[in-house]
Amino acid sequence: MTTETISTSKAGSPRKRKNQLQRGTVWWRYIVAAITILFAISPVVYIIIAACNPEGTLTTFNFSIHSFGLDNFRFLFGRHDLSSDVTYQAYPYMLWYRNSLMVSLLAATLQVIVATAAAYAFSRLHFKGRRLSLGALLLLQLFPSVLAFVSLFLIMQKIGAVFPFVGPGTWAGLILIYLGGSLGINTYLLKGFFDTIPRELDEAATVDGASANQIFMKIILPLAAPMLAVVMLLAFIGLMNEFLFASIFLTRSDQMTLAVGLRSLINGRYAQNWGIFSAGAILAGLPMVIMFQLLQRFIVEGLAAGSVKG
Amino acid sequence: MIGIVFRICFLGLVDSLAFWAGSHLLVSRNWLGLVWLIAATATINFVYISKRSRASKWLLPGTLLLLIFQIYPILFTASAAFSNYSTAHFVSRDEAASNIVLQNIQQVEGSPQYSIVPLHNGNNVALLVTDPKTKKVYLGSETEFTEMDSPSAPTGWKPYTEEQFYADAVQAKLGSLLVPIPEPKGAYLKVNDFSTAFAFVSDVIYDTNSEKLIRVSDQYVFPEREGAFIDEDGTALDPGWRVSVGFKNFKSVITDPVVRGPFLRVLIWTFVYAALTVLTTFALGLTLALILNHTRVKGRKYLRSVLIIPYAVPGFLSLMIWAGLLNDDFGTINALFHSHIPWLTDPVWAKVSTLLVNLWLGFPYMFLICTGAIQSIPAELSEAAEVDGAKPRQILMKIKLPLLLVTVSPLLIGSFAYSFNNFGGIYLLTGGGPPVADSQIAGATDILISYTYKLAMEAGHGNDYGLSCAISILIFFMVAGIATLSFTRTRALENLG
């Protein structure tokens, strides 16, 4: 499937004619929209209320100006040194945030770099076993890395016994696992995109004496930059959402990502930590929601091309 | 020119890294690892020096990562699925034997008192031992017992002060330290207090010639069964070691009622969950897309922006939020409606909650792709049908829906495969619970992937990696089968279209 088939771009003239054709009452359509919107955003609204109510518990659903306060947020920004004060139960929320951003950004960037290189070879260079390895790459996608999580954990434990800096409990190890996990699908996506860049361009450059490196740097890369950004964005979103491997790998509180950390904050302690969790959830979710809204068009294109958000 | 400099720098970096890593592997005597490291380094050097292998320059980084982190784990999973790999069978046979030997040590009767000085060099601990008979001084560690020229600590080693000696961490290290000594045969020194140690010897020995584990006192030779030594009562000694058990794990899934019951229950729910999640999200998404994709509905852009909010919120957050909202005791939803519905603690309600929450999470995705698919259907088709006298319902059922299905069906299959293994969608909401009587491990909402996770990772019941990997292999065959089948079907559909 190509990206064009489902793109939501506004069509030209056919759309105008369609415009004149559509008839009928519309008020009930607004009612359906209103009900769905209520369903869609009530948990979000509720979380905002809970976060801004320091005395609030899970059951209170009141929002008055008297109960408004930002103590829950202050708690997150406050002391995050676990060792210095034992009685004051604080969580290193800011560290979790930083860890999540660092791990996801690094892994997404490296993923795109490695996948781009491989996709370029598959799209432009002729070598023995090209078709065969492409087929193998597709076949591998049937065995997603979630299925091999036990093996990956045991393997990393073994590697970690010799090289502790990539063993369990390290970012490097987690990033390596993330790298291997979605390499195939990204390579395939990018190869498909490189194929749409006209070959005449690099043929002309070859005639002018450009090397493979130069063609890649001067022709393919500039043309592919927007697509690379989309793939990287989707990879980044997916990694920010990743829970399984992060939870197996990162067990020390100061190393956790947001997903694992917030879970450790809330699991079994819904009653005590609900307000703080809500505040943390808003700070974690808001940038993602804003990014989603701004980049809606690109994300939808990426979705159509076959990526599924985690 | 810059290219060459860059290449030399890069290869220099790779080679020095490999050299450093190799020295680590050499120290830990990991020969297999060393062979792989040398092979990988040689390949990297060859590819980036040689002028011939043009394509492999681009492919090598990805290939290496794919080999280590995707293909090797798959092979590992496959081999573990045919083994008894688990907490009780984690080590090699030699390690298991020496572990059992050490479990059975007792103080040698009438052992003389050795005077010692506990030492450390940062990471390791050792003892400076004075033999009570010969008065010779030895340096004893876990692996060595060497005679010293002078009775002072060798360079690099520092003696512990008495205060340091009684710190918990040091006590833990020294308490478990066993220093092999030549006399009496097979004996170990064990720290008694800050300045003394006694000789200990095990009642059980491992005879390296016959490769048998023997109890000295009554010359009992331990028989072996499925990777464990067996004592007279027929109980397996802990630890055992990893051996191949053939199809045992797969067989137990089919024939052993203790495994089969929960497995079948989880399997059925996995299919129901994945299918209903795709169906409900698609139905809602499509309905919304059809209703709102009408040119006289104003502000469609803004409606869409609001409707995709559940999709834009990171999934792990939404799931944890819903887990709180549906909490039985103090959940908001029960409080709001003054109801007492056991959303997450009753097996049936927990399944309903799971489906509802996954509907909330997934419908915007379906709404987005359906909207896109409807807009990409050429208006001419509907117009032509209208000219021919077709009613709006007929246009919808006969033209729009079939075309739309052709476009989105691969995405629906992808969505099904995703839900099938959607670990977070279950685990973060219900934790797989509530518990069901037939199994200590599989809860009412557990799907296969969360079941394998619990089998392998959750403490309290011994981690069964072998069975977990066997189920992973079964999941692979199911998903692969469904994917292949449905892709051939959709291709047929496309041809019809």
pLDDT in tens, B73-90: 999 999 989 988 887 787
Residue A276 near residue A76 (C-beta atoms within 8 A) = yes
Residue A12 pLDDT: 42
Contact A277, A267 (CB under 8 A): no
Cα distance between residue B230 and residue B37, in whole Å: 39
Q: What is the mean pLDDT of chain A?
A: 80
The two three-digit tokens of residue A183, written as one number:
């390499």
The beta-carbon contacts of B148-157 under 8 Å, at least 24 apart in sequence, are B153/B117, B153/B119, B153/B128, B156/B121, B157/B119, B157/B120, B157/B121, B157/B126
pTM value is 0.81
Contact predicate B430/B354, CB 8 Å: yes
Contacts of B415 in chain A (CB under 8 A): 308
d(CA B150, CA B148): 6
Please name the amino acid found at residue A135: G
* Closest Cβ opposite residue B69 in set A46, A180, A241: A180
Q: Please determine, for residue A23, whether its predicted confidence score (pLDDT) is greater than 80.
A: no
- Among A residues 63-122, those touching chain B with beta carbons less than 8 Å apart: 114-115, 117-118, 120-121
Say yes or no for a CB contact (<8 Å) between A7 and B372. yes
Query: Nearest CA of chain A to the CA of B407: how many Å?
Result: 8
* Nearest CA distance, B365 vs chain A (angstrom): 9
Are the folds of B97-240 and B254-496 the same?
A: no
Supply the pLDDT for residue A107. 94
Backbone angle region of A129, left / alpha / beta, with phi > 0 → left and psi within -120 to 50 → alpha: left
pLDDT in tens, B397-447: 888 888 888 888 888 888 898 899 999 999 999 988 788 888 888 889 999
Minimal-distance CA residue of chain B relative to A293: B305
**CB-nearest partner of B375 from A8, A187, A262:** A8
Domain boundaries, chain B: 2-68, 97-240, 254-496
Tell me: pLDDT of A235 over 70: yes
Q: Superfamily for B254-496?
A: MetI-like (1.10.3720.10)
Q: Is A46 helix (H, G, I), strand (E, B) or coil?
A: helix
Q: Please, what are the domains in chain A? A: 98-257+295-304 (1.10.3720.10)
Cis peptide before A198 (omega within 30 of 0): no
Which residue type, as a one-letter code, is found at position B276? L
| CA separation for the pair A211, A203 (Å, rounded) | 11
CA distances, B52 to each of A206, A217, B472 (Å):
18, 21, 41
Instruction: Give the pLDDT of residue A257.
Output: 92
Whether residue B257 is preceded by a cis peptide bond, meaning omega within 30 degrees of 0, is no
**Which residues on adjacent β-strands are paired with residue B236?**
B230
Chain segment B336-389, per-residue pLDDT in tens: 777 788 888 899 999 999 999 999 999 999 998 898 888 888 888 888 888 888
Nearest to B199 by CA among B131, B120, B99, B149: B131
Distance from CA of A143 to the nearest CA of B (A): 6
Which residue of chain A has the CA closest to B307? Answer: A37
Q: Which residues of A touch B428 (CB under 8 A)?
A: 243, 263
Average pLDDT, chain B: 85
Q: What are the residues facing B107 on neighbouring strands?
A: B200
CA distance A225 to chain B (A): 18
Residue B245 phi, psi dihedral angles, 5° rounding: -120, 15
Condensed to tens digits (0 to 9), the pLDDT of residues A174-212 reads 999 998 878 888 888 888 888 888 888 888 888 888 887
- Answer for the pair A69, A56: CB distance below 8 angstroms, yes or no: no
In chain B, which stretches have pLDDT less than 70? 1, 53, 330, 459-461, 490-497
* Nearest chain A residue to B320, by CA: A263
What is the share, in percent, of chain A residues with pLDDT greater than 70?
Answer: 80
Nearest to B68 by CA among A294, A82, A158, A40: A158
What is the crossing angle of helices A296-304 and B347-375, to 10°?
100
Strands B240-241 and B145-147: unpaired
* CB B96, CB B239: distance < 8 Å: yes
Class of the CATH domain delimited by B97-240: mainly beta
Residue B184 φ then ψ, to 5°: -70, 165
Q: Where on the phi/psi map is residue B156: left (φ > 0), alpha (ψ -120 to 50), or beta?
A: left
Cα separation of B476 and B448, whole Å?
Answer: 11
CB contact under 8 A, B54 and A120: no
Which of B179, B108, B174 lies closest to B139 in space, CA to CA? B179
pLDDT of residue A18: 46
Per-residue pLDDT of A38-80, as tens digits, reads 999 989 988 888 888 776 555 555 555 566 777 778 777 765 4
pLDDT at A22: 62
Residue B275: how many CB atoms within 10 A of its CB? 13
Size of interface A-B (CB pairs under 8 A): 296
- HEC string of chain B equals CHHHHHHHHHHHHHHHHHHHHHHHHHHCCCHHHHHHHHHHHHHHHHHHHCCCCHHHHHHHHHHHHHHHHHHHHHHHHHHHHCECCECCEEECHHHHHHHHHHHCEEECCCCCCEEEEEEECCCCEEEEEECCCCCCEEEECCCCEEECCCCCCCCCCEECCHHHHCCHHHHHHHHCCEEEECCCCCEEEEEEECCEEEEEEECEEEECCCCEEEECCCCEECCECCCCEECCCCCECCCEECCECCCHHHHHHHHCHHHHHHHHHHHHHHHHHHHHHHHHHHHHHHHHHHHHCCCCCCCHHHHHHHHCHHHHCCHHHHHHHHHHHCCCCCCHHHHHCCCCCCCCCCHHHHHHHHHHHHHHHHHHHHHHHHHHHHHCCCHHHHHHHHHCCCCHHHHHHHHHHHHHHHHHHHHHHHHHHHHHCCHHHHHCCCCCCCECCCCCCCECCCCHHHHHHHHHHCCCCCCCHHHHHHHHHHHHHHHHHHHHHHHHHHHHHHHHC
Q: Does A166 touch chain B (CB under 8 A)?
A: no
Is residue B181 within 8 Å of B140, Cβ to Cβ? yes
